[in-house]
Amino acid sequence: MGDAPKTPVPETQLFHDVFNASPIGIAVESLEGQPLFANPALCSMLGFSEEELRSKHCVDFSPPEDAEKDWELFQKLRAGSIDHYQIEKRYFRRDGSLVWGSLSISLLNSRLSPLVIAMVEDITDKKKAEEAQFKLAAIIESSEDAIVSKNLDGIITSWNASAQRIYGYTETEAIGQPISILVPSELVDEQRNLLEKLKAGERIAHYETVRLTKQRKRVNVSLSLSPIKDSTGAIVGSSGIARDITEDRMAEESRLRLAEIVQSSDDAIISKALDGIIVSWNAGAERIYGTHRRKRLESQSQ
Protein backbone atom coordinates (compact mmCIF):
# COMPACT_ATOMS: atom_id res chain seq x y z
CA MET A 1 0.00 0.00 0.00
CA GLY A 2 1.25 3.43 -0.82
CA ASP A 3 1.50 6.23 1.69
CA ALA A 4 -1.69 8.12 2.25
CA PRO A 5 -1.62 11.52 0.54
CA LYS A 6 -0.70 14.34 2.89
CA THR A 7 -3.39 16.86 3.59
CA PRO A 8 -2.21 20.26 2.33
CA VAL A 9 -1.78 22.91 4.98
CA PRO A 10 -4.28 25.73 4.49
CA GLU A 11 -2.60 28.90 3.25
CA THR A 12 -3.86 30.95 6.15
CA GLN A 13 -2.49 28.38 8.61
CA LEU A 14 0.88 28.41 6.82
CA PHE A 15 1.15 32.19 7.06
CA HIS A 16 0.13 32.02 10.72
CA ASP A 17 2.85 29.45 11.45
CA VAL A 18 5.50 31.51 9.65
CA PHE A 19 4.37 34.65 11.49
CA ASN A 20 4.72 32.95 14.87
CA ALA A 21 7.97 31.13 14.09
CA SER A 22 9.84 34.12 12.67
CA PRO A 23 12.94 35.10 14.71
CA ILE A 24 12.35 38.71 13.63
CA GLY A 25 9.72 40.76 15.40
CA ILE A 26 6.63 41.32 13.25
CA ALA A 27 3.54 43.45 13.85
CA VAL A 28 0.52 44.12 11.66
CA GLU A 29 -0.83 47.65 12.14
CA SER A 30 -3.70 49.74 10.92
CA LEU A 31 -3.11 52.88 8.86
CA GLU A 32 -3.56 54.79 12.10
CA GLY A 33 -0.47 53.09 13.56
CA GLN A 34 -2.43 50.84 15.91
CA PRO A 35 -0.91 47.35 16.37
CA LEU A 36 -3.42 44.62 15.52
CA PHE A 37 -1.22 41.53 15.76
CA ALA A 38 2.28 40.91 17.13
CA ASN A 39 4.34 37.77 16.91
CA PRO A 40 6.18 36.10 19.84
CA ALA A 41 9.58 37.43 18.69
CA LEU A 42 8.42 41.06 18.98
CA CYS A 43 6.77 40.39 22.35
CA SER A 44 10.00 38.80 23.61
CA MET A 45 12.15 41.64 22.27
CA LEU A 46 10.09 44.33 24.01
CA GLY A 47 8.95 42.34 27.05
CA PHE A 48 5.24 43.03 26.49
CA SER A 49 2.43 40.56 25.93
CA GLU A 50 0.59 40.76 22.61
CA GLU A 51 -2.42 42.20 24.41
CA GLU A 52 -0.26 44.95 25.95
CA LEU A 53 1.28 45.77 22.56
CA ARG A 54 -2.15 46.03 20.97
CA SER A 55 -3.23 48.53 23.62
CA LYS A 56 -0.54 51.04 22.57
CA HIS A 57 0.10 53.26 19.56
CA CYS A 58 3.23 52.55 17.48
CA VAL A 59 4.91 55.81 18.57
CA ASP A 60 4.52 54.90 22.25
CA PHE A 61 7.39 52.42 22.04
CA SER A 62 10.18 54.92 21.30
CA PRO A 63 11.75 58.09 22.75
CA PRO A 64 10.17 61.27 21.31
CA GLU A 65 13.03 62.11 18.91
CA ASP A 66 12.96 58.59 17.43
CA ALA A 67 9.16 58.41 17.33
CA GLU A 68 8.98 61.76 15.52
CA LYS A 69 11.21 60.54 12.68
CA ASP A 70 9.25 57.30 12.40
CA TRP A 71 5.84 59.01 12.42
CA GLU A 72 6.91 61.50 9.76
CA LEU A 73 7.71 58.61 7.42
CA PHE A 74 4.53 56.79 8.46
CA GLN A 75 2.48 59.83 7.42
CA LYS A 76 4.07 59.72 3.96
CA LEU A 77 3.13 56.03 3.80
CA ARG A 78 -0.47 56.87 4.65
CA ALA A 79 -0.53 59.63 2.06
CA GLY A 80 0.65 57.21 -0.63
CA SER A 81 3.86 59.09 -1.46
CA ILE A 82 5.88 56.01 -0.40
CA ASP A 83 4.93 52.36 0.01
CA HIS A 84 7.76 51.32 2.33
CA TYR A 85 10.61 52.69 4.44
CA GLN A 86 13.38 51.55 6.77
CA ILE A 87 14.75 53.26 9.86
CA GLU A 88 16.96 52.40 12.82
CA LYS A 89 15.49 53.56 16.12
CA ARG A 90 15.30 52.82 19.81
CA TYR A 91 12.47 50.97 21.54
CA PHE A 92 11.37 51.01 25.16
CA ARG A 93 11.17 47.63 26.81
CA ARG A 94 8.56 46.94 29.47
CA ASP A 95 11.20 47.43 32.21
CA GLY A 96 12.08 50.89 30.84
CA SER A 97 15.39 49.88 29.25
CA LEU A 98 16.13 50.69 25.61
CA VAL A 99 16.95 48.38 22.73
CA TRP A 100 17.88 49.28 19.17
CA GLY A 101 15.80 47.94 16.30
CA SER A 102 16.05 48.05 12.51
CA LEU A 103 12.45 48.78 11.47
CA SER A 104 11.16 47.92 7.99
CA ILE A 105 7.65 49.16 7.18
CA SER A 106 5.63 48.07 4.14
CA LEU A 107 2.12 48.92 2.98
CA LEU A 108 -0.22 46.01 2.26
CA ASN A 109 -2.61 47.23 -0.45
CA SER A 110 -4.04 43.84 -1.41
CA ARG A 111 -6.94 44.20 1.03
CA LEU A 112 -10.06 46.30 0.96
CA SER A 113 -8.73 48.00 4.09
CA PRO A 114 -4.96 48.53 3.64
CA LEU A 115 -2.74 47.42 6.49
CA VAL A 116 0.86 47.99 7.44
CA ILE A 117 3.39 45.28 8.23
CA ALA A 118 6.27 46.24 10.52
CA MET A 119 9.33 44.03 10.86
CA VAL A 120 11.81 44.79 13.65
CA GLU A 121 15.26 43.22 13.97
CA ASP A 122 17.13 43.63 17.26
CA ILE A 123 20.42 45.41 16.44
CA THR A 124 21.36 46.39 20.00
CA ASP A 125 24.64 44.45 19.94
CA LYS A 126 25.54 45.97 16.57
CA LYS A 127 24.89 49.48 17.89
CA LYS A 128 26.96 48.85 21.01
CA ALA A 129 29.82 47.63 18.84
CA GLU A 130 29.53 50.72 16.63
CA GLU A 131 29.50 52.99 19.69
CA ALA A 132 32.62 51.27 21.03
CA GLN A 133 34.32 51.74 17.66
CA PHE A 134 33.38 55.42 17.55
CA LYS A 135 34.76 55.94 21.06
CA LEU A 136 37.97 54.12 20.15
CA ALA A 137 38.31 56.17 16.95
CA ALA A 138 37.81 59.39 18.95
CA ILE A 139 40.47 58.32 21.47
CA ILE A 140 42.91 57.47 18.69
CA GLU A 141 42.35 60.76 16.87
CA SER A 142 42.67 62.85 20.03
CA SER A 143 45.78 61.04 21.30
CA GLU A 144 49.00 63.01 21.63
CA ASP A 145 50.88 59.89 20.54
CA ALA A 146 51.25 58.64 16.98
CA ILE A 147 49.04 55.57 16.53
CA VAL A 148 49.74 53.55 13.39
CA SER A 149 48.59 50.12 12.23
CA LYS A 150 50.10 47.98 9.51
CA ASN A 151 49.55 44.58 7.90
CA LEU A 152 51.88 41.60 8.11
CA ASP A 153 53.92 42.95 5.19
CA GLY A 154 54.59 46.17 7.10
CA ILE A 155 52.26 48.27 4.92
CA ILE A 156 50.60 51.16 6.78
CA THR A 157 46.81 50.73 7.06
CA SER A 158 45.85 53.49 9.52
CA TRP A 159 47.42 56.79 10.58
CA ASN A 160 46.12 59.22 13.18
CA ALA A 161 46.45 63.00 13.47
CA SER A 162 49.42 62.83 15.86
CA ALA A 163 51.27 60.55 13.44
CA GLN A 164 50.95 63.35 10.88
CA ARG A 165 52.10 65.92 13.45
CA ILE A 166 55.15 63.91 14.52
CA TYR A 167 56.24 62.44 11.18
CA GLY A 168 54.98 65.06 8.72
CA TYR A 169 53.15 62.68 6.35
CA THR A 170 49.42 63.18 5.81
CA GLU A 171 47.09 60.20 6.18
CA THR A 172 46.73 60.01 2.39
CA GLU A 173 50.51 60.05 1.92
CA ALA A 174 51.17 57.42 4.61
CA ILE A 175 48.48 54.76 4.07
CA GLY A 176 49.63 52.15 1.59
CA GLN A 177 53.30 52.94 2.17
CA PRO A 178 55.74 50.57 3.92
CA ILE A 179 56.53 51.43 7.53
CA SER A 180 60.18 51.47 6.43
CA ILE A 181 59.69 55.07 5.19
CA LEU A 182 60.08 56.03 8.86
CA VAL A 183 63.11 53.84 9.58
CA PRO A 184 66.72 55.08 9.29
CA SER A 185 68.86 52.89 7.02
CA GLU A 186 71.03 51.72 9.90
CA LEU A 187 67.94 50.44 11.77
CA VAL A 188 66.40 48.33 8.98
CA ASP A 189 67.44 45.08 10.67
CA GLU A 190 66.05 46.30 13.97
CA GLN A 191 62.69 47.03 12.32
CA ARG A 192 62.68 43.60 10.66
CA ASN A 193 63.24 41.95 14.05
CA LEU A 194 60.38 43.92 15.59
CA LEU A 195 58.01 42.78 12.82
CA GLU A 196 59.06 39.15 13.30
CA LYS A 197 58.35 39.37 17.04
CA LEU A 198 54.89 40.82 16.34
CA LYS A 199 54.13 38.07 13.80
CA ALA A 200 54.98 35.58 16.55
CA GLY A 201 52.42 37.22 18.84
CA GLU A 202 54.87 39.08 21.06
CA ARG A 203 54.05 42.48 22.54
CA ILE A 204 56.73 45.14 22.78
CA ALA A 205 56.49 47.89 25.39
CA HIS A 206 58.38 51.20 25.65
CA TYR A 207 61.06 50.35 23.11
CA GLU A 208 63.22 53.43 22.52
CA THR A 209 64.50 53.96 19.01
CA VAL A 210 64.78 56.57 16.24
CA ARG A 211 62.39 57.37 13.40
CA LEU A 212 62.57 59.71 10.40
CA THR A 213 60.10 62.45 9.49
CA LYS A 214 59.04 63.34 5.96
CA GLN A 215 61.74 66.03 6.05
CA ARG A 216 64.28 63.29 7.05
CA LYS A 217 64.64 64.74 10.53
CA ARG A 218 65.50 62.20 13.22
CA VAL A 219 63.00 61.82 16.05
CA ASN A 220 63.56 59.86 19.25
CA VAL A 221 60.48 57.76 20.02
CA SER A 222 59.28 55.25 22.59
CA LEU A 223 57.36 52.46 20.83
CA SER A 224 54.68 50.16 22.24
CA LEU A 225 53.69 47.53 19.67
CA SER A 226 50.94 44.88 19.70
CA PRO A 227 49.79 42.21 17.22
CA ILE A 228 46.31 42.59 15.69
CA LYS A 229 44.20 39.41 15.57
CA ASP A 230 41.05 38.60 13.60
CA SER A 231 37.95 36.84 14.97
CA THR A 232 39.66 33.44 14.66
CA GLY A 233 42.71 34.54 16.63
CA ALA A 234 45.00 34.67 13.61
CA ILE A 235 47.50 37.54 13.56
CA VAL A 236 46.70 39.83 10.62
CA GLY A 237 48.77 42.90 11.42
CA SER A 238 50.09 45.09 14.20
CA SER A 239 49.44 48.42 15.86
CA GLY A 240 52.02 50.78 17.25
CA ILE A 241 51.92 53.73 19.63
CA ALA A 242 54.89 56.07 19.30
CA ARG A 243 55.64 58.80 21.84
CA ASP A 244 57.99 61.56 20.79
CA ILE A 245 60.69 61.62 23.48
CA THR A 246 63.09 63.92 21.62
CA GLU A 247 62.70 66.72 24.19
CA ASP A 248 63.11 64.23 27.05
CA ARG A 249 66.30 62.93 25.45
CA MET A 250 67.61 66.47 24.97
CA ALA A 251 66.81 67.34 28.58
CA GLU A 252 68.54 64.17 29.78
CA GLU A 253 71.60 64.89 27.66
CA SER A 254 71.71 68.46 29.01
CA ARG A 255 71.47 67.14 32.57
CA LEU A 256 74.29 64.68 31.96
CA ARG A 257 76.48 67.37 30.37
CA LEU A 258 75.84 69.70 33.31
CA ALA A 259 76.62 66.92 35.78
CA GLU A 260 79.85 66.20 33.91
CA ILE A 261 80.83 69.90 33.98
CA VAL A 262 80.06 70.15 37.69
CA GLN A 263 81.95 66.98 38.49
CA SER A 264 85.05 67.93 36.47
CA SER A 265 85.24 71.51 37.77
CA ASP A 266 88.30 72.50 39.82
CA ASP A 267 86.02 74.67 41.95
CA ALA A 268 84.05 73.31 44.88
CA ILE A 269 80.40 73.11 43.89
CA ILE A 270 78.02 72.17 46.67
CA SER A 271 74.22 72.20 46.80
CA LYS A 272 72.04 72.02 49.90
CA ALA A 273 68.37 71.54 50.63
CA LEU A 274 66.37 74.26 52.44
CA ASP A 275 67.02 72.50 55.74
CA GLY A 276 70.78 72.77 55.18
CA ILE A 277 71.34 69.11 54.27
CA ILE A 278 74.07 68.68 51.64
CA VAL A 279 72.65 66.96 48.56
CA SER A 280 75.58 67.20 46.15
CA TRP A 281 79.37 67.53 46.55
CA ASN A 282 81.62 67.51 43.51
CA ALA A 283 85.22 66.36 43.06
CA GLY A 284 86.44 69.94 43.47
CA ALA A 285 84.76 70.13 46.90
CA GLU A 286 86.28 66.78 47.78
CA ARG A 287 89.75 68.05 46.82
CA ILE A 288 89.40 71.34 48.71
CA TYR A 289 87.51 70.23 51.82
CA GLY A 290 88.02 66.48 51.93
CA THR A 291 85.52 63.85 52.92
CA HIS A 292 85.86 64.59 56.65
CA ARG A 293 84.90 68.24 56.12
CA ARG A 294 81.73 67.16 54.29
CA LYS A 295 80.74 64.82 57.10
CA ARG A 296 81.30 67.57 59.68
CA LEU A 297 79.19 70.05 57.69
CA GLU A 298 76.44 67.49 57.39
CA SER A 299 76.46 66.77 61.11
CA GLN A 300 76.36 70.48 61.95
CA SER A 301 73.32 71.07 59.81
CA GLN A 302 71.35 68.29 61.46
pLDDT tens profile 260-278: 766 776 677 777 777 767 7
Q: How far apart are CA 225 and CA 71, in angstroms?
A: 50
CATH at 152: 3.30.450.20
In whole angstroms, give the CA distance from residue 219 to residue 204.
19
Cβ atoms 123, 101 nearer than 8 A: yes
Last residue of a domain, one of 71, 102, 128: 128
Q: Which residues, at least 6 apart from 183, have a Cβ–Cβ distance to it below 8 Å?
A: 190, 191, 211, 212
Residue 1 in this model has a pLDDT that exceeds 50: no
Question: Is residue 149 in a domain?
Answer: yes
Q: Report the share of the chain in percent with pLDDT over 90.
A: 65
Residue length, the chain? 302
Query: Is the pLDDT assigned to residue 197 strictly greater than 90?
Result: yes
Q: Are residues 223 and 279 in the same domain?
A: no
Q: Are residues 107 and 163 in the same domain?
A: no
Same domain, 219 and 276: no
Q: Which of 78-87, 127-136, 163-172, 292-301 has the lowest mean pLDDT?
A: 292-301
State the SS3 of 70-88: HHHHHHHHHHCCCCEEEEE
Mean of the per-residue pLDDT values of the chain: 87
Based on the fold, state whether residues 122 and 25 are members of the same structural domain. Answer: yes
R_g (Cα) of the chain, nearest Å: 35
Please state, in angstroms and as integers, the Cα–Cα distance from residue 78 to each residue in 26, 105, 106, 110, 233, following that order. Answer: 19, 11, 11, 15, 50
Same domain membership, residue 151 and residue 123:
no
With a cut of 60, say whether residue 173 has pLDDT above it: yes
- pLDDT at 95 > cutoff 70: yes
Residues 218 and 155 in one domain: yes
Contacts of 191 (CB under 8 A, 6+ apart): 154, 179, 180, 183
Residue 194 pLDDT greater than 70, yes or no: yes
The answer to whether residue 77 sits within a structural domain is yes
Please give the average per-residue pLDDT across 171-176, as a whole number: 96
Q: Do 276 and 238 fall into the same domain?
A: no
Residue 43: inside a domain: yes
Q: Which of 34-43, 127-136, 268-277 has the lowest mean pLDDT?
A: 268-277
Q: Which of 97, 128, 159 is the last residue of a domain?
A: 128
Give the residue numbers spanning the domain of 270: 265-301
Residue 113: inside a domain: yes
CA–CA distance, 219 with 210 (Å, rounded to integer) = 6
Q: Which range among 73-82, 101-110, 173-182, 263-272 shows the weakest confidence by mean pLDDT?
A: 263-272
Asked whether residue 197 is assigned to any structural domain, the reply reads yes
Most confident of 9-18, 32-41, 137-146: 32-41
Number of domains in the chain: 3
Which of the pair, 228 or 271, is modelled with greater confidence? Answer: 228
Which pLDDT does position 35 carry in this prediction?
Answer: 94
Q: Is residue 89 part of a domain?
A: yes
Residues 44 and 111 in one domain: yes
d(CA 144, CA 160): 10
> What 3-state class would DSSP assign to 205?
strand
Among the listed ranges 162-166, 192-196, 233-237, 246-250, which one has the minimum average pLDDT value? 246-250
Give dist(CA 41, CA 25) in Å, integer.
5
SS3 184: coil
Type and span of the H or E element at 90: strand 84-92
Which H or E element spans position 283?
A: helix 283-301
- Neighbour count for residue 29 (Cβ, 10 Å): 21
Per residue in 97-107, pLDDT tens? Answer: 999 999 999 99
What residue type is assigned to position 80 of the chain?
A: G
Both 151 and 221 in one domain: the answer is yes
pLDDT at 273: 75
* Range 249-260 average pLDDT: 67
Same domain, 23 and 123: yes
Give me the pLDDT at residue 146, please.
Answer: 95
The answer to the question of residue 6 being in a domain is no
In a domain, 255, yes or no: no
**Pair (19, 102) in one structural domain:** yes
246 burial via Cβ count (<10 Å: 0-12, 13-18, 19+): middle
Q: Are residues 244 and 274 both part of a single domain?
A: no
47 CB-contact burial (10 Å; exposed 0-12 / middle 13-18 / buried 19+): middle
